Structure 1
Amino acid sequence: MRLRALAILWLAGLCGLADPVSAQDAEQPALLVADQVTVENQSRLVAEGNVEALHDGTRLEATRIVYDQDTGALSIEGPLRITEPGGDVLVADRADLDQDFENGLLRGARLVLDEQLQLASVEAQRVGGRYTALSKVAVTSCQVCGPNQTPLWQIRARRVVHDEEEQQIYFDGAQFRVLDVPIAYLPRLRIPDPTLERARGFLTPSIRTSTLLGFGIKTPYFIPLGPSRDVTLTPYLSPVTRTLELRYRQAFRYGDLEILSAASSDTLENDGRAYLFAEGSFDLPRRFKLEFDLETTSDEAYLSDYDYSSKDRLDSEIALTRTTPLSFFGTELIHYQTLRDDERNATQPTIVIHSEYEQRFPDLWGGELRLGGVTQGHYRYSDLNVDSNDADDVVDGRDVARATLEASWRRRWTLQGGLRAGVAGHLWADRFEIRQDATSDRHASQITPAVEVELRWPWTRVGGDGGRTLIEPLFQTAWIGGERPNIPNDESTRVEFDEGNLIDISRFPAADRRERGRVSAMGLRWQHSDPLGWTAGMTVGRVWREDADPAFTRSSGLDDEESDLLLAGHLATADGLAFTARGLLDEEDGTFNKAAARATWTNRIVDLGASYILVARDPGENRDSATSEWSFDGGYDLPGDWSGEAEGRYDLVDDRFARAGLGLTYENECVSARFTVSRRFASSTNLEPSTDFGLTVALKGFSTGGSAKEYRRTCN
């Protein structure tokens, strides 16, 4: 009858056979568990049956182990399995090792790194506890089920050395195969193993074919500059261009910084081309936060030609903010660069300075007092004090500075029957300084008082099935005093009327325009939450004013005494379907002056979305024709390891696509391949239509190709 034995051993002297001093010098004892343990000739230990040995975090499992004290050698019969502390696994048929498992020879060895990368060899040699040298090796991260199955890809090599300390794999005589067909041969090859997160070297290359730039290849090279900094250099070569792209990242203790840049020499432009995007965010003492964003490019078409960005206006900004429960402070400096062919940087408000501060004083006189101030200034490079009849219909060189002080007090009550009432008083003091504008005064000041009364009557109901319904009528009436001075409208050129400002004292976004006289608003809000998991809501509203305000344009929906009817709603179901819509309905002609809608469907296998926008023709906003556009985007998990995606924008006014794109991805435990095609139908004179094809293939299991754990299959 076999008895299970347990022995706690010092590797320098098993079962007390060694001298006590050497036992005390040993760093850590080993633990040996087996069905049967015997000692032969006072110096030879034999462990048989379900043998497990643990030393210094390394676990050995085998059928039989023979330890010779005189030579310090371990003879191990398999199948055996050695698991390293970091998770690497070495499997072999037989092994001859030293007592620390650091040196020796293994027959029929297979090394598995981080449960991802498999290295199968005829034999492996352990050297110094750091290196594993394998001969006649096949390397892959593909799951292989059965002896006759061929992996999707593998690297055959004469010799492979794995350096555990540097986390690198070195290949001699490497041959890359796809479905066992040789594709490439490399005499020497070095690849970081899957446990190394930041390895210096080449990343996954990508191929791009463009009708503008031709066939090209990008080969990123990653350079770590310490634990918190790195830079990636990406040469991009094609018959048309020679480009070097750069990405720099640095993480600080209280912030981060990222820089994106590229420089190109191509046949599209005679001069060199470049762009620079940089952004950073830093937490400062006393709750201050510093953020900056730098965007610049050498010409209007560069970002679009190379697909770096779709922006047609670049904004560079530095901002300092501080937010507390009772106060807010913010100041920012912005520089704009337009890339539109119908705009000129000289006549746009290129440099903008904005600062604001607000302090709340709750529980004052039964309500809340708010004090604040705003300073705003913008500068145009042009010196003309008249309009040169360009598209924007604005004085070319007009510069404006504004200072605003505001005080408001507000209070709310709950009346009988659940009626909620609120009252607020406001007082604004504004000062304007205008330069280089022959059509307006150079100085202007105004004092604007205002008072408002608001009523809300929320009705709630809980159904027998647990559903909850809210119906809330809304009403507001306000009076705003004062008269509008002879100042230009530079800040409130675009007005949005929606459910967010239906009940508001003024729907202009800035102080250069304020609503005047008596203004009332009424609305109805409905919301329902069903226990089956769906929710829905709707808002209907309208604004009435004493006199029409010419500062409101047609598409704002507020240009008459009676505004357009505001309609807004949303619906979300438990199975991932969501729909939102908003519109301003002109009831006289039954058309919408402005509308937007978005529908999405999201679940485990599909993520689809479609949007629609409509903005009516409005000369007051320099829009000579209506804007009507459909856009769609989405992805779908196809059967197997495939997934697809598509996106597009269709201009209904011009009856043409503005942009369209398709993508197809194949991803499993050992490879990730992505193919994309996109078409840009440019309408601007400084952009050309182009079609782009892209292909990226990454081998998983190495740190440069991504993790293979998430897609690990199970053999049946």
Structure 2
Amino acid sequence: MTRVLTCLARLLAALTFLALPAGAQDKGEDMADPAMLVADNVYVEADSRLVATGNVEAFHDGLRLTAQRIVYDQSTDQLVIDGPIRIIDADGNVITATYAEMDQGFRNGLLSGARMVLDQQLQLASVEARRVEGRFTQLSRVAVTSCQVCGKNRVPLWQIRASRVVHDQLERQMYFDDAQLRVLDVPVFYFPRLRLPDPTLERARGFLIPTIHSSSRLGLGIKTPYFIPIGRHQDLTLTPYLSPKTRTLEFRYRRAYRSGQLTLLGGLTSDTLMDDGPRGYLFANGNFRLPRDYKLSFNLKSISDDSYLYDYGLDDKDRLASDLSLSRITYDSFMQTSVRNYQTLRDFESNSTQPRFIADYRLERRFFPGLVGGELRLAAETHGHLRQSKNDTDGPDADDEVDGRDVTRINAEMSWRNRWTLPGGIRAGLSTHLWLDHYLTEQDVTSDAEVSRAIPGIAAEFRYPMQRQGPAGGRTLLEPVLQFGWVGGERLRNPNDESTRVEFDEANLLSLSRFPASDRREHGATLAAGVRWLHQAPDGWSAALTFGRIWRETADTDFSRSSGLTGTTSDLLIAGRFANPLGLTLSARGLLDHDGSFSKAEARAGWSTTRMDLGASYLLLVPDADEDRDQTQSEWTFDGRYQLNRHWSTSSEARYDLADQRVDRVGLGLQYRNECIQVDFQVTRDYASSSIVEPSTDFDLTIALTGFGAGNSGKEYRRTCSF
């Protein structure tokens, strides 16, 4: 009996091979353990013929077979099963049939009235199914769908009818002969031959979901991606885009390495928008882990003309940044070297006068001397940037279209810092600094060609954290902070090329210099004061609020108006956030000037639940000639997603320019998804206008039949029939 039950385990595996995925097959090929057989009557004839009748159930390794009668002759390797037959594996894949017959070591066989459900989603119903060579399953007169069909008189939303379907379990592919795509049982397309992946295959050569794209710039067109796997670790996707005004071939190449990954994106275009010949773009992105904890990363971008990305809806950035970086971070050290290139797409800027080629190197080490305590830091930095223009910079009132200033600087810093807890709970900190700076400037008659300096600095900081815990478990923290700082030396005659945009926020409130780069430093005595309040409520909501202000001995003229740091007294920094368990989040930051109005402000509100995500952002920037802004910039942006019900959802976006009182961008989307289809419709209107871009309207429609390939599953939307 044990020998017969072992053979029963083999036949269960063979039946599973008829249609189930390769993962289930791999588990079945080495089935050495006997199966369990339960039936009303079980007996063995001549020590080799197993007969089981009446409510037959067989179990093995997560597989379950039910039938009315099983007859297995081990001497001839023949199996006959009378139905109704039902086979279920551990992953929920199902085979049903009315009759089954197998021979020749279970490599060949026949199932009558076969119906298969792959990966709990794709259904194949056929008149009969034949097992061939232990690998292929041939189904005759087949209907394939992933739609749930309830009742006898209802038809699926879509189905593929074919005279024959061959399922290759090894390649996990399905081949259709004389296939018809039917929508509500109405023939729509005919395919003499068709190949589709089964639901378990993650990567397969073939066409992906097409997108119908309509643009006021390019007309009505279609994008049809074609996916080409190249081994297990790389692939190529080619996407032809055809419309009355363009012939474009986009591509994406991906490769995974043991130590990193590489991605290439690009496109080659011939269109009627420009008469300058072919257009295109190429983006390259990579990240790699190197020996000794080094990391190499690069992000390279190149385009043929300034308006290409906007014309094809690829990106709305007005500057392209390319960079190559090598870094290493350990417990006590940091090293990074990088090379960057900027390409401006703004119609009022010239690439010849912008700092396009930038190189940086920074090294920092930390030491913890036992004799004096605290932390000792040593840092060094080298920076250089070049312009293509070879013309001298003549001054702020001259023609800046010809400015060609080039800058190189070398900066070093040695600092020591420590903290103590004083009586009464006051936290005190002390830091001392020594900076060594050397600047080289070329092609600028307004600056010295070479300047150097060594300047000291010191900062003393005092905090008084006070915490209270309420009777219900809520916690509140109130922390005033005060810092006295001093930096020696004075401003050198080197140009301000990197620190033209200064942000005053919570992160640099207690810094000795708020300039973002080392080509500028603050000098003289400063006093910074602030207070921080945090509260965590027992019912889950939390809030935080920060106030800060800076007083300095002398005003710094290199701070712009909108920085909030002009004069001897800075604007009042206000920042706060709020979050509650209902999904509501608020965050805001602003600089309140001496007249009681905001010189700079930003805010974000969001509400997120299981059915929706809503967000609104606000931005305010006052006019500032130092930042090339001659009028106020103020705008609202909105974005949202709402799940109307299980199958329908909507999305939206909008951007409104408060200063010009006009709409910049509006987008709406409608999505439908069930167990067998996914429809996505998007419409976007851009109102931007300049010498290189014009207002445009874009429509996108994507329709996908789910159930083919592991990345296109609809199992989470599967319905249940009620009778």
TM-score normalised by structure 2 residue count: 0.93
- 1:184 and 1:502 map into 2 onto residues whose CA distance is 66
Structure 2 residue corresponding to 1:679, chosen from 679, 682, 685: 685
Aligned to 1:219: 224
Aligned to 1:186: 191
Amino acid at match of 1:149: R
- 1:390 and 1:346 map into 2 onto residues whose CA distance is 19
2:623 aligned with 1:617: yes
Moved more, 392-401 or 319-328: 392-401
- 1:257-406 paired onto structure 2 within 5 Å: 257-270=262-275, 271-364=277-370, 365-387=372-394, 393=400, 396-406=403-413
Offset at residue 447 of structure 1 (A): 1.5
Aligned to 2:203: 198
Aligned to 2:547: 540
Structure 1 residues 141-160: Cα deviation after superposition (integer angstroms, max 9, x where no partner): 11222222221111111111
Offset at residue 33 of structure 1 (A): 3.3
Identity of aligned residues (%): 58
- 1:13 and 1:115 map into 2 onto residues whose CA distance is 23
- 1:487-498 paired onto structure 2 within 5 Å: 487-498=494-505
- 1:391 and 1:689 map into 2 onto residues whose CA distance is 34
- 1:383 and 1:455 map into 2 onto residues whose CA distance is 50
SS of the aligned residue for 1:347 comes to: coil
With over 3 angstroms needed to count, the CA separation of the structure-2 counterparts of 1:56 and 1:571, relative to structure 1, is closer
2:516 aligned with 1:509: yes
Amino acid at match of 1:506: S
Conserved 8 A contact 1:571-1:578? yes
2:582 aligned with 1:586: no
SS of the aligned residue for 1:303 comes to: helix
Conserved 8 A contact 2:4-2:50? no
Conserved 8 A contact 1:203-1:704? no
- 1:618-697 paired onto structure 2 within 5 Å: 618-697=624-703
- 1:87-236 paired onto structure 2 within 5 Å: 88-98=93-103, 100-236=105-241
- 1:462-501 paired onto structure 2 within 5 Å: 462-501=469-508
Aligned to 2:5: 9
Aligned to 1:255: 260
CA RMSD of aligned residues (A): 2.2
Aligned to 2:25: none
Offset at residue 61 of structure 1 (A): 2.3
- 2:681 and 2:369 map into 1 onto residues whose CA distance is 61
Aligned to 1:19: none
- 1:452 and 1:57 map into 2 onto residues whose CA distance is 69
Structure 1 residues 305-344: Cα deviation after superposition (integer angstroms, max 9, x where no partner): 0011111111111101010111101000001111111110
- 1:583 and 1:133 map into 2 onto residues whose CA distance is 69
Amino acid at match of 1:280: G
Offset at residue 688 of structure 1 (A): 1.3
Aligned to 1:440: 447
SS of the aligned residue for 2:507 comes to: coil
Offset at residue 128 of structure 1 (A): 2.1
SS of the aligned residue for 1:304 comes to: helix
Structure 1 residues 184-237: Cα deviation after superposition (integer angstroms, max 9, x where no partner): 111111111111111011111111000001111111111111111001011111
Offset at residue 12 of structure 1 (A): 10
Structure 1 residues 589-646: Cα deviation after superposition (integer angstroms, max 9, x where no partner): x211000000011110011111001010001111111110111112111124011111
- 1:591 and 1:120 map into 2 onto residues whose CA distance is 72
- 1:459 and 1:11 map into 2 onto residues whose CA distance is 75
Conserved 8 A contact 1:699-1:705? no
With over 3 angstroms needed to count, the CA separation of the structure-2 counterparts of 1:319 and 1:642, relative to structure 1, is same
Conserved 8 A contact 1:461-1:468? yes
5+ unaligned residues in a row in structure 1: which ranges? 15-25
- 1:610 and 1:682 map into 2 onto residues whose CA distance is 20
Moved more, 28-37 or 229-238: 28-37
With over 3 angstroms needed to count, the CA separation of the structure-2 counterparts of 1:523 and 1:42, relative to structure 1, is closer
Conserved 8 A contact 2:122-2:708? yes
Conserved 8 A contact 1:387-1:395? no
Conserved 8 A contact 2:394-2:445? no
Structure 1 residues 105-163: Cα deviation after superposition (integer angstroms, max 9, x where no partner): 22211011122210011221122221111111110011222222221111111111111
With over 3 angstroms needed to count, the CA separation of the structure-2 counterparts of 1:604 and 1:87, relative to structure 1, is closer
- 1:393 and 1:529 map into 2 onto residues whose CA distance is 53
Structure 1 residues 221-269: Cα deviation after superposition (integer angstroms, max 9, x where no partner): 1111111100101111111000000100011101111110001000001
- 1:561 and 1:121 map into 2 onto residues whose CA distance is 85
Conserved 8 A contact 1:162-1:168? yes
Aligned to 2:18: none
Moved more, 291-300 or 174-183: 174-183
5+ unaligned residues in a row in structure 2: which ranges? 11-29
Amino acid at match of 1:142: C
- 2:382 and 2:721 map into 1 onto residues whose CA distance is 68
- 1:449-468 paired onto structure 2 within 5 Å: 449-468=456-475
Amino acid at match of 2:235: D
SS of the aligned residue for 2:193 comes to: strand
With over 3 angstroms needed to count, the CA separation of the structure-2 counterparts of 1:543 and 1:133, relative to structure 1, is same
SS of the aligned residue for 2:368 comes to: strand
Structure 1 residues 654-705: Cα deviation after superposition (integer angstroms, max 9, x where no partner): 1112221111111111111100000111132211111000011111110176
- 1:180 and 1:104 map into 2 onto residues whose CA distance is 31
- 2:241 and 2:90 map into 1 onto residues whose CA distance is 41
SS of the aligned residue for 2:481 comes to: strand
Number of equivalences: 700
Offset at residue 425 of structure 1 (A): 0.8
2:703 aligned with 1:703: no
Structure 1 residues 364-392: Cα deviation after superposition (integer angstroms, max 9, x where no partner): 51221111111010000001103598999
2:249 aligned with 1:244: yes
With over 3 angstroms needed to count, the CA separation of the structure-2 counterparts of 1:476 and 1:76, relative to structure 1, is same
Conserved 8 A contact 1:649-1:659? yes
Offset at residue 406 of structure 1 (A): 0.4
SS of the aligned residue for 1:691 comes to: strand
Conserved 8 A contact 1:77-1:94? yes
- 1:27 and 1:431 map into 2 onto residues whose CA distance is 75
TM-score normalised by structure 1 residue count: 0.94
- 1:389 and 1:48 map into 2 onto residues whose CA distance is 99
SS of the aligned residue for 2:352 comes to: helix
